[in-house]
Structure formats: C-alpha cells, structure tokens
Amino acid sequence: MADANVFTDAIKRLDTAAAYSKAHAETIERLRQPKQHLQVTFPVRMDDGSERMFTGFRCRYDDTRGPGKGGIRFHPGVTGDEVKALAFWMTIKCAVANIPFGGGKGGVIVNPKELSQCELERLSRGFMRAIADVVAPDIDVPAPDVYTNPTVMAWMMEEYSTIVGKSSPGVITGKPIALGGSLGRGDATARGGFYQIKELERIQGWDRSRTTVAVHGFGNAGQFFAQLAADDGYKVVAVCDSRGGVYDPNGLDVATLIETKNSTRRVAGQGIEISGDDLLGLDVDLLVPAALENTISSENQADVKAKVILELANGPLTNEADAELNTRGVVTIPDILANSGGVTVSYFEWTQNKAGYSWTLEEVHQRLKDKMSSEFCTIWDFAQTKSIDMRTAAYAIGLDRLAEAHEATGTAKIFANT
C-alpha cells in the first residue's frame, strides 16, 4: 500500500519538523542521508547440500549521540531503502527517548519460514560474518526485529565473539537472559506504549472499562500490548494477524487468543472472523497498528474511525494518511515515541553488559515507566503549546537533541567569520 518510496517518505518528515526545531540547516542536511549503508551478499549451505546466496543490509544512519542502534529483520520484502528509512527512524527515536544511541538497522532478504532451524542458524552466522567489520559494542549494536528473536541474536553474538576472539555480549541486545540479555526485554515495546497510553488516560480522563481497543498485528508487540491492556481493564474487542482476525464488541479473552495463536498459528475461536482491513475500519477508541510499514495509506485512511492511534509498528501510516487523519482530529502517538520502549530496554541491556551487572525486573519496569512517562509528557506538552500534532512535536524535539550534539563542534555561524 505504499504511497511513495519508504525512505523518501521518511525524510519528508524532516522538513515539516524543522519549522518547529532549533536545528541549524547543516544538521538537517546531514540527516538527509545515512553515514554508512552496507549491502552484502553471502553464501549459506542448505540442508540438501546446495549453496544459496543471500543479500543483506546494515545501515548506520547517525552516531553523533552514540553507537548506532537498531534491529535486524529477516523478511522477503526487505529492501535497501526500507533499511535506510528504518535506520533514520531509529536515529530520531533514540533522540526522542533521550538515550545515548544513534540510529541503525539491518535486514536480510529471506523468508525464514522456508528454512530449517539449521539453515536459519547458518544464515544468522553468515550474515554476522558479512557485517562484522561495521558492528561493535561502541560502533553499532543490532537487536531483534521482524522474524528474528533471542536465539538468532545469540547465534550472531557468539559468531561475532569468535571473530574478535573475546566474549562480546554488548555487540547485540535482545539476547537470551542466560547470555547477557535483560529482564523485561520481551515485552518492552508493548509495555513502553502501554505506559504512554496510561498517561493519555490520565490526561483525557478515560474510563478503561468503556475504552475499546483493536490491535492490528498479533506478533510479539501486539500480543503483549493486548494482554497488558486487557489486564488493566481495557476492552480489547478485535485483534488480527496476516491471516485474519476476530471481533467481539463485548471484549475478547486475550489470554486464550494468545494461547490459540501460538499453538495453531491462527487468530480464531472467538467472536466473528474479520480481515485485517475490516479491523482497521472498526469504530474503536484506540487502534494499535503493530505489524509492518504503510498499513494505513491514502487508499484506506478514510475507513479508520479510531479516535487515537498508537503506532507500535514502524511507519504504519504514510505521510498522506497521517495528514488526512490529523485533519480529522485523530490523535496519533507516533512510532518514534510509541514503540521506543524496545530500544530503551535495549539500552538498559547494553548498559548492564558494559557494567557487568544485572538489574531486577522491577528495576527495569520502573526505569522504563519513568522514561516513557517523562518523554510522552514532554512531547504532549510541546504539541499542545505549539498547536501541532504529536509526530511533528516528537520530530522537533528529536531534532533539537540531535542538533545540540551535531552543533557542539560548530556550524557556519561561528566558522564564517574566522
């Protein structure tokens, strides 16, 4: 459903936000292209004995505020432009979350569902060998993303440690707990978004028992968010995955749906069956896109009836759809804020690895809550003061923080007269 090249679409947001930012024109210009964008091709020995070539990417977009940070996805639709766009978003996201990372992203063009576990391991290790020269604990730190998980991260971390000849848990986040992962990482993206919804609930005086929620995408983030919302008393009325979904206006049994989905790979067994497109058009209070980019475009934005959108996915609204929804008064909590809980707890994991110390689950949750609540309120207040939407406010604040780092060593303003 893409309305434009995904990278071009992402960069357009710079110009909109710049009007409300203190950033110098040089900072804006530097952010129009990535610092480093690598494309690799590498061989993998398949189970039948044949050798197959795979193409992958790793982009370090900006590292002015700290090492690059961003996930690695395994998906047949991965493109270089998509990876650059995601790395750009990660740059802004880390600044919005106010953590000392820049932005990065990676991916391999592959359908992992077609691979055996042994082939998946060889693919993961082969990709790490291909990008090992451009990642490191203080250079660029990958993490899980679409169709990658803690086991994949463990394979990559182990392969990198072998290459450099020493244990290097800080090169990867999202690892298994036993290999240096952080408690609280599994549900961090969803929990971060949930803490922000709690702030909006406080501001707008919502009655949770009457607030309806629909979740589009029932993978890790979608499942955890639905469960957190349901446990807190929200009425989750619809969920879906790529195969379809279910709807019950009286509310769904989320725990049972999760069990069914994970055991049968289907969202079924309750309410009435609906499609993903049907879910987007439901009259609900809160819509949570938690799948892939460009889910809501100019083609289907008119169907959306939700009053609030929480973007747990990266880039689920195109620029055109976003503008139309803003005109209609829909409040959108943008991806660079809404799903920043994941990278925030990744930062916690990296910090623990660097220090050789582990935090308790309660410490992780409290630190995440403090961070998400604080940054949400900062952006909400800025948006209200400037009478702008939250996405523009988030980008403007992110740009201000990036500009402070970019411009600390000078701009044309000081060099023009030397």
| The one-letter amino acid at 365 | H
Task: Establish whether 105 is a catalytic residue.
Answer: yes
Q: Is 32 exposed, middle or buried (0-12, 13-18, 19+ CB in 10 A)?
A: exposed
In the three-class reduction of DSSP (H, G, I as helix; E, B as strand; rest coil), residue 77 is classed as coil
The Cα 198–Cα 345 span in angstroms is 19
Residue position matching structure tokens 């083609």? 299
Catalytic residue selected from 35, 84, 93, 105: 105
The Cα 199–Cα 307 span in angstroms is 16
Do 343 and 93 touch, CB atoms closer than 8 A? yes
Give the number of other CB atoms < 10 A from CB of residue 114: 9
Pairing assessment for the beta strands 68-75 and 51-62 based on DSSP bridges = unpaired
**Non-local CB neighbours of 329 within 8 Å, separated by 6+ positions:** none
Q: How is residue 159 written in tokens? A: 């392969």
User: Which sign, positive or negative, has the C-alpha torsion 206, 207, 208, 212?
Assistant: negative
- Could you give the residue numbers annotated as active site? 105
